Structure 1
Amino acid sequence: MTGFREIADADVESVVALWQACGLTRAWNDPYKDIAFARESATSTVLVQEHHGRIAASVMAGHDGHRGMLYYVAVDPALQRQGHGKAAVRAAEEWLGQRGVWKVNLLVRAENAAVKGFYEALGYEVNPVLCMARKI
């Protein structure tokens, strides 16, 4: 298992395919736009891990100057349950920590409740807050 690095132009198609294979994309969120937006700023990134020359895992990380956020934590379905997901989360936490971020949030879609135990095993817990959003 290799370490994580910042996404390169040549990785974009493979990363989008990975997100699709993991069921992370939605019709209302253009993954190409999400990747481009994350890469435009010093406060966000997409990290990738290669395994045998292929993109095996990814995570998008960003912060607002106060709290960090994780998005698109994805592992090739054929490689799940081998430590790649944990490595992705830890790589993103390290990236955020190097930028002075001390708290990380993540969102899990309600229909993806099966992943809750994975995040709990990594020390994440449900916060008693209501998340509200508005598209502008």
Structure 2
Amino acid sequence: MTIREVGDDDVEVVVALWRDCGLTRPWNDPHADVAAARRNPTSTVLVALDESSAVVGTAMAGYEGHRGWLYYVAVAPGLQGTGLGRRVVAAAEAWLQDAGAAEVRLMVRTSNARVLGFYARLGYTDREATVLGRSLPSR
């Protein structure tokens, strides 16, 4: 398996994987999320490729100067439980560490509670914080 940054030819496959894994929502445009991550020098989308160069895993990573964040961690449904997710997260953590992050955070939707065990096995713990947000008006 190879892990590298996303390329132009990967975008549609990445978005399809995110949809297959239930990570997209109608109010978020995953194509815009990929484009924004690629545009910003402090973020990236990593893709894991199998032996045939098919995209089988992803992680979006971003560093905002204080801590690193992970988004869109996905593994092809047929490969979940094989250790691929662990490798993708480790690659994203390494990318963030190289960018200067000393700590990594991620958010898990309350509707995706089954993934909490995966992150617990990787050493992630509840930071006892409530995430608040709001959409900014478009300009």
TM range (shorter): over 0.9
Q: Distance in 2 between matches of 1:98 and 1:42?
A: 12
Percent identity between the two aligned chains: 51
User: For residues 94-109 of structure 1, what are the structure 2 equivalents within 5 Å?
Assistant: 94-109=94-109
In the TM superposition, residue 134 of structure 1 has moved relative to its aligned partner by 1.1
Q: State the secondary structure of the residue aligned to 2:102.
A: coil
Q: Which letter does structure 1 place at the counterpart of 2:90? A: R
> Between Structure 1 and Structure 2, how many residues are aligned?
135
Moved over 6 A (4+): none
In the TM superposition, residue 11 of structure 1 has moved relative to its aligned partner by 0.2
* Deviation sequence 1:8-36 (CA, Å, 0-9, x none): 00000100010000000000000000000
Q: Distance in 1 between matches of 2:71 and 2:131?
A: 15
Q: Distance in 2 between matches of 1:94 and 1:3?
A: 15
Q: 2:88: which partner in 1?
A: 88
In the TM superposition, residue 130 of structure 1 has moved relative to its aligned partner by 1.4
User: For residues 1-136 of structure 1, what are the structure 2 equivalents within 5 Å?
Assistant: 2-51=1-50, 52-136=52-136
Q: Distance in 2 between matches of 1:24 and 1:40?
A: 21
In the TM superposition, residue 3 of structure 1 has moved relative to its aligned partner by 2.8
In the TM superposition, residue 106 of structure 1 has moved relative to its aligned partner by 0.1
* Deviation sequence 1:62-111 (CA, Å, 0-9, x none): 01111100000000001111111101110000000011101000000001
In the TM superposition, residue 45 of structure 1 has moved relative to its aligned partner by 0.2
5+ long unaligned stretches in structure 1: none
* Deviation sequence 1:24-51 (CA, Å, 0-9, x none): 0000000000000000011000000111
Q: Distance in 2 between matches of 1:55 and 1:40?
A: 21
Q: Distance in 2 between matches of 1:134 and 1:68?
A: 20
In the TM superposition, residue 129 of structure 1 has moved relative to its aligned partner by 1.2
In the TM superposition, residue 55 of structure 1 has moved relative to its aligned partner by 0.4
The TM-score with structure 1 as length reference comes to 0.97
Q: Distance in 1 between matches of 2:114 and 2:77?
A: 14
The TM-score with structure 2 as length reference comes to 0.95
5+ long unaligned stretches in structure 2: none
* Deviation sequence 1:107-126 (CA, Å, 0-9, x none): 00001001001000000000
Aligned-residue RMSD, C-alpha: 0.7
